Amino acid sequence: MSTLLSKRWAVVAVLAALAWSAAAQAGPTLDKVKQNGAVTCGVQTGLAGFAQPDSQGVYSGFNVEICKALSAAIFGDPGKVKFVPLTAQQRFTALQSGEVDVLINNTTWTLSRDTDLGFNFGPVVFFDGQGFLVAKKLNVKSAKELNGATVCVQPGTTTELNLADYFRASKMEYKPVVIEKLDEATGAFFSGRCDVFTTDSSALAAIRVGRAQKPDDYVILPERISKEPLAPVMRHGDEQWHDIVSWAVYALMQAEESNLTKANVDDALKSDDPAIKRMLGVTPGMGKMLGLDDKWAYNEIKMVGNYGEIFDRNIGAGSPLKLDRGLNGLWTKGGLIYPMPIR
């Protein structure tokens, strides 16, 4: 009888230990990342050009390469990333609960997400705007002609709210068909369930090229009904991690501004320019301030490339999407990409 009793107590003790240790664990994110040996990066379940797994489940795309650059800055190895595919609805809970360390998945920076949801945003990696994709045979030339349309949209997105705002402001009627999974949502649009599919225009371009049987049968309407600054997202309460992600992104942008590429960064180590010497860790100090190796920025550029290279390869001129740099050009070339000074 006494053995049974002690067994029960043992169970209670184990339960308590498990529960309390879970509570004590949540330390700074960088420690956790180093302990796990990988950055856990939340990406989309599949959006051509931004984040998409191939038949072997290997992810590629614009967001994926930014995650890889982050891994290169932390570990000196772009491969130490664990990609977690998340739908628009799953992403915030996954980040809040600590399942992922950072979301790099075309999440729009908004006030309520920054405050009520308990998040911090890194630098904007893509300036986007919401658009409408329609079939050419409907003969619609402008979003102002969409009164009465049925619109496919994903739930839990800023898109869903902008859509409601736009039709309200324009005094037009619409019928939303709200489907969580992008596959089913776009499938419903292409089968004709909806007249319109709406999301960020970059994603519309990806969907038109990647998912339509005949991309030429579909057209993206000229209106951009919202501002969609897409930025990496982190949890509140870890300033160091916020700094690391932010500066890892700024370094990619600064590299493009300073004409440092994957190919020439080794030569640049011999440069006399003090700014480049600081950034590449030839003059030590910058990496240490972040809690990283002084070679952090060098590793990012050498192993992944600069912002412009990542853009062109995945979504720009060198990709099937062929998106213009437009707003996403460097500030020196009329765009909005403006890295903060690394010093």
Tokens of 331: 């500030």
The total number of residues written for the chain in this structure: 343
Do 51 and 105 form a contact (C-beta atoms < 8 A)? yes
User: In the complex with other proteins, which residue's Cβ is closer, 176 or 329?
Assistant: 176
> Interface mask (CB under 8 A) for other proteins, residues 210-239, using x and -?
-------------------------xxx--
Tokens of 337: 């990409």
Burial (CB < 10 A; 0-12, 13-18, 19+), residue 234, is buried
144 binds other proteins (CB under 8 A): no
Do 132 and 153 form a contact (C-beta atoms < 8 A)? no
Hey, which residues between 71 and 90 contact other proteins (CB under 8 A)? 88-89
Question: Shortest distance, CB of residue 195 to other proteins, whole angstroms?
Answer: 5
CA distance 160 to 330: 30
User: In the complex with other proteins, which residue's Cβ is closer, 96 or 261?
Assistant: 96
User: In the complex with other proteins, which residue's Cβ is closer, 168 or 322?
Assistant: 168
Q: Which residues contact 255 (CB under 8 A, 6 or more apart)?
A: 261, 265, 279, 297, 300, 301, 306, 307
115 binds other proteins (CB under 8 A): yes
Q: How many CA atoms lie within 13 A of 14 on its CB side?
A: 6
Question: Shortest distance, CB of residue 158 to other proteins, whole angstroms?
Answer: 9
12 binds other proteins (CB under 8 A): yes
User: In the complex with other proteins, which residue's Cβ is closer, 80 or 91?
Assistant: 91
169 binds other proteins (CB under 8 A): no
User: In the complex with other proteins, which residue's Cβ is closer, 17 or 317?
Assistant: 17
> Interface mask (CB under 8 A) for other proteins, residues 172-201, using x and -?
--xxxxxxx---xx--x--xxx-x------
Q: How many CB atoms lie within 10 A of CB 131?
A: 25
CA distance 151 to 210: 20
> Contact residues for other proteins (CB under 8 A)?
8, 12, 15, 19-20, 22-23, 26, 88-89, 92-93, 96, 112-113, 115-118, 138, 146-150, 155-157, 160-161, 163-165, 167-168, 174-180, 184-185, 188, 191-193, 195, 235-237
